[in-house]
C-alpha cells in the first residue's frame, strides 16, 4: 500500500537487462562444452549480448537520473543496475579470455561452475519482474546465496586440482582467468540479490 | 526589593540560556534537508536559519502570553518568584536528566510541566483550562496533524510530479526548499523564542517590574537574539553528526514535510496561541512524508519515543519542579 508512483518503463528495463544476463550465461555454458573451433563464434555472440546490456544500463542510468520521483532510493537503483552490469561483464570477460588465451581443455569441473552461473542468472532474470512489488522474493535471496556458495566450492576444487602438480604452469595460467571470472560473476549476482533485499527492507 | 531584583535577574539569565540552547539543539531541524540537497551551502543555511529565528520571534505574542499568564498565576511577591524559579529549574533539571539518559523529551513540554508543578507544590493558581486547551490538546494534535498532512502532501506532490524531469523540476524544488527551510526557521523562532519571552515576562510581573500581559520590547529583542545566536553557534556541530544519524530525505519530502511543519507551527502559534514542540512537529511530518513509501519506511522506534515523550515529560518535569519547591523551602529561602 505504497503511495509512491512506480515507473513501468524502468522496471521493464531491469527485467530486460537481467534477461540479457541469463542469455549470456546460457551461451557461456555452450562455449565451455563446445569444441575449440566454434568457441570464437559463441564468444562473439556473448560480446554482442554484452553490448546490448551496456545500452540497457545506459538507458537505466539516464532514466534514474531524469526522474524527479524515483520508485525506490536513487542510490539503491543505481547499485542494482551496476551490479547486474558487473555480472554481465564478468561472464563476457570469462568467455573472451577463454578464446584469447586459446584454452584447449577446460578442467572437468568448469562445466559445473558455468552451470551454476547459468542457474543463478536465470533465477535472477525470472525474479526481476518482482522488483516492482517486492513480493515473494525470499526464495530468490536464499537460492542465490546457495548458488554463490556452491560456485565458491566448485571454484576452490578446480584450483586445487589445477595446482596438484599434474598440470603444467602455462595451462593453469590460460584457464585460470576464465574460471576466476565465472566465480566473480556469481559474486556480482549475490550483490544484486543483496541490493534488492535492501530495497525491500526499506519499502512496503 | 533587592531579593526580587536578584531573583528576576537569575530567572531572566537562565531563561535566555535555555533559549540559546534551544537554538543550539534545534538549528538542524530547519536547514538539514536543504543543505543535504545542496540547495544551500552550510554557511548560507545557518545565516538564513538565524535570521528566520529572529524574524519569527517578532511576529506574534500569543505563545508568550500563554506561557506568561495563561498557565499559572503566582502572587506578585518574592515567594512568587521562587515558584517561577523552581518551575524553570525543574524543567531544566528534567531536560538534563533526559539528555543524560538519552530519553527523548521536549523542552517546551518540560517548561510547561515545570511551571505547573511548581505552582501546584506551592498552592498557587494553575489555569487548568489554559493547560488543557492550549498545551495538552495541541501537544497531541500537532504530531498527528504533522504526520497526516505531510503524508497527504507528499502523496499529492509525487502524483503531480510523477513524470517530471529532475533537470527541470529539481531547480524549482531547490528554490522551494529554501522557502520551506526559511519558513521552518521562522516557525522555530515564533514558537520557541516566545516561550522564553513568556517566562521572562512572568518573572518581571511577579517581581513587580512590569504589569499586564504585554511583552516588553527588550524582552522580545533579547529572546530573539539568544535563540538566533544559539542557532548560528549550534548548527555547525549538529550538521556534522546529522549526515550519519538522520534518514536520507529527498527534495520532494524535504519540501513537503517542512511546509507542513512550518504551517502547523504558524497556525498554532498565531491563531491558537499554543506552545507546541517544534521537534515533535517536524519529526512527525518527516515520518508522515516517508510513510508514503509504505509501512516499513516508518521508524516505529521514533514514533514510540515521541509517544513516550508525550506521556512522561509534563508529569516528570512537574515532579522535578515540585521537588525544587521543596528544596527551596528546606533551605528556608521563601
A-chain CB neighbours of B161 within 8 Å are 68-69
pLDDT at B296 over 80: no
By residue range, what is the domain housing residue B23?
2-330
- Least Cα separation, residue B67 to chain A (angstroms): 40
Question: Going by C-beta distance under 8 Å and a sequence separation of 6 or more, which residues neighbour residue B329?
Answer: none
**For the segment B65-122, what is each residue's pLDDT rounded down to a tens digit?**
999 988 998 888 888 999 999 999 999 888 888 777 766 677 888 899 999 999 999 9
The rounded distance, in Å, linking the Cα atoms of B262 and B276 is 12
**For the segment B251-295, what is each residue's pLDDT rounded down to a tens digit?**
899 899 999 999 999 999 999 999 998 888 988 898 898 888 877
Note the pLDDT of residue B247.
Answer: 55
Q: How many CB atoms lie within 10 A of CB A146?
A: 13
The rounded distance, in Å, linking the Cα atoms of B201 and B123 is 21
A-chain CB neighbours of B162 within 8 Å are 5, 7, 69
- Least Cα separation, residue A64 to chain B (angstroms): 9
Q: A8-202 belongs to which homologous superfamily?
A: Phosphate transport system protein phou homolog 2; domain 2 (1.20.58.220)
ipTM, two decimals: 0.74
* First-to-final CA distance of chain B: 14
DSSP A128: G
Q: How many CB atoms lie within 10 A of CB B171?
A: 11
> Is the Cβ of B169 closer than 8 Å to some Cβ of chain A?
yes
B-chain CB neighbours of A66 within 8 Å are 165-167
Residue A192 grid cell? 544484486
Mean pLDDT along residues B300-321? 83
Query: Around B266, how many Cα atoms within 13 Å sit in the side-chain half-sphere?
Result: 16
Taking an 8 Å cut-off on Cβ atoms, the answer to whether A5 and B294 are in contact is: no
Nearest CA in chain B to A75: B248
Nearest CA in chain B to A4: B293
User: Which of B151, B159, B173 comes nearest A5 by C-beta?
Assistant: B159
Question: Going by C-beta distance under 8 Å and a sequence separation of 6 or more, which residues neighbour residue A161?
Answer: A107, A108, A109, A167
Taking an 8 Å cut-off on Cβ atoms, the answer to whether A2 and B161 are in contact is: no
User: Which of B169, B173, B292 comes nearest A3 by C-beta?
Assistant: B292
Taking an 8 Å cut-off on Cβ atoms, the answer to whether A69 and B158 are in contact is: yes
A-chain CB neighbours of B251 within 8 Å are 68
pLDDT at B245 over 50: no
Identify the burial level of A35 via C-beta atoms within 10 angstroms of its C-beta, where 0-12 means exposed, 13-18 middle and 19 or more buried.
Answer: exposed
pLDDT at A5 over 50: yes
The rounded distance, in Å, linking the Cα atoms of B114 and B63 is 17
> Is the Cβ of A3 closer than 8 Å to some Cβ of chain B?
yes
Q: What element of type H or E holds A24?
A: helix A8-33
Q: Which residues pair with B126 in a beta bridge?
A: B72
> Is the Cβ of B255 closer than 8 Å to some Cβ of chain A?
no
pLDDT at A204 over 70: no
> Is the Cβ of A136 closer than 8 Å to some Cβ of chain B?
no
Note the pLDDT of residue B244.
Answer: 44
| Closest by CA position to B108, among listed B167, B230, B178, B193 | B193
- Residue B148 CA to chain centroid, in angstroms? 20
Structure-model confidence comparison of residues B2 and B194, the more confident one: B194
The rounded distance, in Å, linking the Cα atoms of B154 and B55 is 28
* First-to-final CA distance of chain A: 7
Helix (H, G, I), strand (E, B) or coil at B126: strand
Residue with C-alpha cell 524535504?
A: B254
Mean pLDDT along residues A173-180? 95
Note the pLDDT of residue B240.
Answer: 56
Query: Around B95, how many Cα atoms within 13 Å sit in the side-chain half-sphere?
Result: 20
Note the pLDDT of residue B243.
Answer: 45
> Is the Cβ of B246 closer than 8 Å to some Cβ of chain A?
no
User: Which of B170, B294, B295 comes nearest A68 by C-beta?
Assistant: B170
- Least Cα separation, residue B155 to chain A (angstroms): 6
Total structural domains in chain B?
1
- Least Cα separation, residue A140 to chain B (angstroms): 20
**For the segment B22-67, what is each residue's pLDDT rounded down to a tens digit?**
888 777 777 777 777 777 888 888 899 999 999 999 999 999 999 9
> Is the Cβ of A73 closer than 8 Å to some Cβ of chain B?
yes
Taking an 8 Å cut-off on Cβ atoms, the answer to whether A68 and B155 are in contact is: no
Find out whether B311 and B109 touch, Cβ atoms under 8 Å: no
- Least Cα separation, residue B253 to chain A (angstroms): 10
The rounded distance, in Å, linking the Cα atoms of B248 and B253 is 10
> Is the Cβ of A68 closer than 8 Å to some Cβ of chain B?
yes
Domain range summary for chain A, segments of one domain joined by +? 8-202
> Is the Cβ of A62 closer than 8 Å to some Cβ of chain B?
no
> Is the Cβ of A4 closer than 8 Å to some Cβ of chain B?
yes
Find out whether A103 and A175 touch, Cβ atoms under 8 Å: yes
**For the segment A182-196, what is each residue's pLDDT rounded down to a tens digit?**
999 999 999 999 999
> Is the Cβ of A66 closer than 8 Å to some Cβ of chain B?
yes
**For the segment A136-162, what is each residue's pLDDT rounded down to a tens digit?**
999 999 999 999 999 999 999 999 999
Phi and psi, residue B175, nearest 5° = -60, -45
pTM score, two decimals? Answer: 0.84
Q: pLDDT band at residue B16, thresholds of 50, 70 and 90?
A: very high
**For the segment B127-171, what is each residue's pLDDT rounded down to a tens digit?**
999 899 998 899 889 999 999 999 999 999 999 998 899 889 988
The rounded distance, in Å, linking the Cα atoms of A92 and B10 is 76
Taking an 8 Å cut-off on Cβ atoms, the answer to whether A68 and B166 are in contact is: yes
Helix, strand, coil share of chain A (percent; to 5): 80, 0, 20
The rounded distance, in Å, linking the Cα atoms of A32 and A176 is 13
**Buried b / exposed e across B235-255, counting CB within 10 Å, b at 16+?**
beebbeebeeeeeebbbbbbb
> Is the Cβ of B148 closer than 8 Å to some Cβ of chain A?
no
Taking an 8 Å cut-off on Cβ atoms, the answer to whether B162 and A203 are in contact is: no
> Is the Cβ of B292 closer than 8 Å to some Cβ of chain A?
yes
> Is the Cβ of A1 closer than 8 Å to some Cβ of chain B?
yes
Question: Going by C-beta distance under 8 Å and a sequence separation of 6 or more, which residues neighbour residue A28?
Answer: A46, A91, A94, A95, A114, A117, A118, A182
Measured over the CA atoms of residue A125, residue A131, residue A133 and residue A138, the dihedral's sign is positive
Dihedral of the alpha carbons of A175, A181, A186, A187, in degrees to the nearest 10: 130
Mean pLDDT along residues A92-118? 95
Q: How many CB atoms lie within 10 A of CB B303?
A: 16
Amino acid at each position: 500500500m505504497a503511495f509512491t508512483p512506480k515507473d513501468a518503463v524502468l522496471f521493464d528495463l531491469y527485467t530486460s537487462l537481467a534477461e540479457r544476463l541469463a542469455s549470456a550465461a546460457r551461451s557461456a555454458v555452450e562455449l565451455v562444452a563446445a569444441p575449440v573451433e566454434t568457441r570464437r563464434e559463441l564468444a562473439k555472440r556473448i560480446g554482442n549480448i554484452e553490448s546490448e546490456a551496456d545500452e540497457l544500463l545506459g538507458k537505466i542510468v539516464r532514466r534514474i537520473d531524469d526522474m524527479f520521483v524515483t520508485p525506490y532510493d536513487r542510490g539503491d537503483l543505481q547499485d542494482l543496475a551496476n551490479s547486474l552490469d558487473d555480472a554481465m561483464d564478468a561472464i563476457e570477460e570469462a568467455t573472451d579470455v577463454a578464446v584469447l588465451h586459446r584454452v584447449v581443455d577446460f578442467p572437468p569441473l568448469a562445466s559445473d561452475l558455468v552451470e551454476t552461473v547459468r542457474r543463478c542468472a536465470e533465477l535472477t532474470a525470472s525474479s526481476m519482474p518482482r522488483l516492482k512489488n517486492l513480493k515473494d522474493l525470499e526464495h530468490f535471496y536464499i537460492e542465490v546465496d546457495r548458488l554463490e556458495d556452491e560456485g565458491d566450492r566448485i571454484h576452490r576444487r578446480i584450483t586445487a586440482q589445477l595446482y596438484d602438480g599434474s598440470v603444467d604452469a602455462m595451462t593453469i595460467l590460460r584457464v585460470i582467468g576464465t574460471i576466476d571470472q565465472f566465480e566473480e560473476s556469481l559474486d556480482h549476482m549475490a550483490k544484486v540479490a543483496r541490493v534488492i533485499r535492501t530495497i525491500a527492507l526499506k519499502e512496503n | 526589593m533587592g531579593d526580587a531584583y536578584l531573583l528576576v535577574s537569575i530567572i531572566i539569565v537562565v531563561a535566555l540560556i535555555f533559549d540559546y540552547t534551544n537554538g543550539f539543539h534545534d538549528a538542524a531541524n530547519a536547514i538539514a534537508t536543504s543543505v543535504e540537497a545542496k540547495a544551500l551551502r552550510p554557511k548560507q543555511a545557518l545565516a538564513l536559519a538565524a535570521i528566520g529565528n529572529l524574524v519569527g520571534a517578532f511576529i506574534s505574542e500569543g505563545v508568550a502570553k500563554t506561557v506568561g499568564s495563561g498557565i499559572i498565576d503566582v502572587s506578585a511577591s518574592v515567594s512568587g518568584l521562587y515558584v517561577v524559579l523552581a518551575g524553570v529549574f525543574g524543567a531544566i533539571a528534567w531536560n538534563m536528566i533526559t539528555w543524560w539518559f538519552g530519553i527523548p523529551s521536549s523542552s517546551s513540554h518540560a517548561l510547561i510541566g515545570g511551571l505547573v508543578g511548581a505552582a501546584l507544590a506551592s498552592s498557587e493558581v494553575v489555569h487548568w483550562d489554559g493547560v488543557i486547551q492550549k498545551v495538552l490538546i495541541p501537544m497531541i494534535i500537532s504530531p498527528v496533524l504533522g504526520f497526516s498532512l505531510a503524508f497527504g502532501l507528499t502523496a499529492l506532490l509525487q502524483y503531480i510530479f510523477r513524470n517530471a524531469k529532475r533537470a527541470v523540476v529539481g531547480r524549482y524544488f531547490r528554490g522551494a526548499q529554501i522557502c520551506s527551510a526559511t519558513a521552518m526557521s521562522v516557525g522555530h523562532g515564533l514558537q520557541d523564542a516566545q516561550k522564553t519571552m513568556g517566562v521572562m515576562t512572568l518573572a518581571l510581573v511577579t517581581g513587580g517590574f512590569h504589569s499586564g500581559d504585554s511583552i516588553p520590547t527588550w524582552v522580545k529583542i533579547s529572546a530573539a537574539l539568544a535563540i538566533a545566536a544559539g542557532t548560528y553557534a549550534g548548527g555547525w556541530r549538529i550538521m556534522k553528526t546529522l549526515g550519519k544519524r538522520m534518514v536520507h530525505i529527498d527534495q520532494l519530502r524535504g519540501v513537503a514535510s517542512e511546509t507542513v511543519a512550518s504551517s502547523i507551527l504558524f497556525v498554532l502559534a498565531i491563531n491558537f496561541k499554543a506552545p507546541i514542540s517544534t521537534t515533535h512537529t517536524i519529526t512527525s511530518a518527516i515520518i508522515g512524508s516517508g510513510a508514503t513509501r509504505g509501512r516499513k519506511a516508518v521508524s516505529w522506534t521514533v514514533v514510540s519515543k515521541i509517544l513516550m515523550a508525550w506521556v512522561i515529560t509534563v508529569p516528570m518535569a512537574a515532579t522535578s519542579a515540585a521537588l525544587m519547591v521543596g528544596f527551596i523551602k528546606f533551605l528556608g529561602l521563601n
